[in-house]
Amino acid sequence: MNEFIDKLKDKALDIGATRIGFSNIESVVPKEFLHLKYGITVMVRLSDEIINQIENMPTFTYFHHYRDINTLIDQICLRLSLMIQGEGFLAMNVPASQTIIDAKQEKYKAIFSHKVAAIHSGLGWIGKNGLFVTEDFGPRVRLGTVLTNLPVRDQKPETGYQSKILESKCGNCMLCVNSCPAKAIKGENWTINSTRNDLLDVDKCSEHMKTAYKDIGRGSVCGLCIKACPKGTKVIGC
């Protein structure tokens, strides 16, 4: 089994993933997916050059890059799912960028949070901006998730499984809070018990993007708080 999991990791890294994480998500997965109690997190790093070009508003290049990365993540997750299914296990991809807007449910919420699986795999924490933050790349990453019944929880750290991070490493930093033009970031440090609403006013964020950036990707992306984060901003070769 460990040999096959290593093959999954090698395949993901070979076709574009930056990091792979494995986790047992039985305690947090929705009840309809309890039979898929393991998560494989696919992380792809965003382009530093493109993020660094963002100043007072997102760029067309950033919007295009954002979509390209989401497509890449979906393709990587699809390949992993097909490999897992070929071994006789079940697997389901959670799309890299998908939200459910339903009055009966929490707004702008996916069928399962990529960040939850990534936290449980030990890859990072949630920033004050509500985004996933890693030690190496800050919030300059995008995530995808494969839900599966393939048992991956016993992986050693070198193959991607680590102890989950239980609280924020953002400390007193307020750069992302101050950078938000919508004033949607509340400035609270995340803990494992935090909800998204504790950190972010998602309505303010969404409405500002739709209004201010409607000509750039239909107002679906911003990136200003990503650019502001000091994590992952080291530039090599300059």
User: Would residue 26 count as lying in a domain?
Assistant: yes
pLDDT tens track for 144-203: 999 999 998 655 444 444 567 888 999 999 999 999 999 999 999 999 899 999 999 989
Ranges of beta strands (E only) in 96-183 are 125-126, 132-133, 141-148
User: Would residue 131 count as lying in a domain?
Assistant: yes
User: Would residue 238 count as lying in a domain?
Assistant: no
pLDDT-wise least confident of 70-79, 104-113, 119-128: 104-113
CB 221 within 8 A of CB 46: no
Compare 106 and 22 and report the one with higher pLDDT. Answer: 22
- Whether residue 105 has pLDDT greater than 80: no
User: Would residue 214 count as lying in a domain?
Assistant: yes
CB 50 within 8 A of CB 62: yes
User: Would residue 142 count as lying in a domain?
Assistant: yes
Angle, helices 60-86 vs 2-14, to 10°: value is 150
- Whether residue 42 has pLDDT greater than 90: yes
Compare 207 and 101 and report the one with higher pLDDT. Answer: 207
pLDDT of residue 233: 78
- Whether residue 103 has pLDDT greater than 60: no
- Whether residue 237 has pLDDT greater than 70: no
User: Would you give the distance in Å from CA 78 to the centre of its chain?
Assistant: 17
User: Would residue 128 count as lying in a domain?
Assistant: yes
Distance CA 234, CA 211 (A): 32
Q: In this structure, what are the phi and psi dihedrals at residue 119, rounded to the nearest 5 degrees?
A: -60, -45
Q: Which domain holds residue 20?
A: 2-228
Classify residue 174 by its DSSP letter. Answer: -
Buried b (16+ CB within 10 A) or exposed e, 48-78: eebbeebeeebbeebbebbeebbebbbbbbe
- Whether residue 143 has pLDDT greater than 90: yes
Distance CA 7, CA 3 (A): 6
Classify residue 32 by its DSSP letter. Answer: G
pLDDT of residue 155: 52
User: Would residue 37 count as lying in a domain?
Assistant: yes
pLDDT-wise least confident of 53-67, 149-163, 218-232: 149-163
Tally of domains in the chain: 1
Q: In this structure, what are the phi and psi dihedrals at residue 231, rounded to the nearest 5 degrees?
A: -70, 135
pLDDT tens track for 11-25: 999 999 999 999 999
- The model's pTM is 0.89
pLDDT of residue 68: 95
For residue 210, name the pLDDT band (cuts at 50, 70, 90): confident
First to last CA, the chain: 44
